[in-house]
Amino acid sequence: MAPIFVSYVITCPNYPDKPAKETVMLERLQKIISAAGITSRRASEDLILAGRVTVNGTVVTELGSKADPSVDTVCVDGKPLTIASKKLYILLYKPVGYLTTLDDPEGRPLVTDLLKEVGERVYPVGRLDYNTEGLLLLTSDGEWANQLMHPRHEVEKEYHVRVRGKVHKSQLDQMAGGVEIDGKKTAPARVSMIKEGEQNDWFSITIHEGRNRQVRRMCEAVSLSVVRLRRVRYGMLTMGSLKPGEFRYLTEAEVAGLRDPHQKHAAAAPRTPATTRSSASARTAQRPAAAQKPSHLAANGKHSTPTKRNRPPRKP
């Protein structure tokens, strides 16, 4: 009997109108959407489930669906996606009174309103609530954002908190050891006093979790009333000399350092300061980012090398 040869034609699931190439580069729709800078991968799942995503004109609602971005036309709310060739990574000093979201039915100010001159769509990495100010990262790189927001990554986030009245050591110790929020205890935190005032005290708290309004709720759990809350550090990044509404682009070393926080050498600050840009709604003179305190400075800001008075005598 002569051999029988059978040929197969492979088509992409859900998209019968367009056969796949012999060599297809199929990716999950969540990844394609986040790579286009629309939103994070997790939020992309909500878009798919809501029926807001189409591939070659067909509505897709299954989270396991894939497509080839080089061949298939993927749309969100009827608008085709464009994959940017260059990823953007931005550090913004978020002012109080701005929402960390891409849309608000009430028309309140959004953090992206401060970045109109960027010219490309970016979205926040995590969030700061309406009344919280400080360091906020935004990017068009969905993979990078998803990695930073994953609980396993454990990026340190430091906040300076001003509270009404006096802070007692027992309250700081409670937050450092963990307090219960929604029936689950928070992870250990680093907490220390910054400044004691007549009516308000300042303290610092460093956490690596990302629960909703976590710092405010930790303060509430120990009967502290927050007057002002500012994020001052994310991983190895600080705001430097940025003022509210200003932003700068991250360097390649900073992006790599956040991707792998254990490689501290990759996060070394650039020798030349990064350019600082003011938002369109808050035009001020451009300022370079402040240089970090050198590691050889002591806690009091003085140089730690021996002085002439205490330097050991030279050998004859």
**Rg, C-alpha atoms of the chain:** 25
Reply yes or no on whether 104 is catalytic: no
CB contact at 8 A, 156 and 208: yes
Note whether 234 and 126 are within 8 A (CB). Answer: no
Using the 8-state DSSP alphabet, how is residue 13 labeled?
T
Catalytic, out of 46, 129, 173, 182: 129
The phi-psi region of residue 83 (left if phi > 0; otherwise alpha if psi is between -120 and 50; otherwise beta) is beta
Name the phi and psi angles at 28, rounded to 5: -65, 145
Distance of CA 288 to the CA centre of its chain: 21
Residue type, 237: L
Confirm if 40 and 149 have CB atoms less than 8 A apart.
yes
Cα dist from 263 to 239, 272, 292, whole Å: 21, 21, 18
Label the pairing between strands 226-234 and 237-238.
antiparallel
Tokens of 223: 């009967």
Query: From its phi and psi, is residue 169 left (phi > 0), alpha (psi between -120 and 50) or beta?
Result: alpha
Assess contact for 122 and 138: CB atoms under 8 A: yes
Q: Where are the alpha helices (DSSP H) in the chain?
A: 29-35, 41-49, 142-149, 169-177, 214-221, 252-259
Distance CA 34, CA 311 (A): 58
Catalytic residue positions, numbered:
129
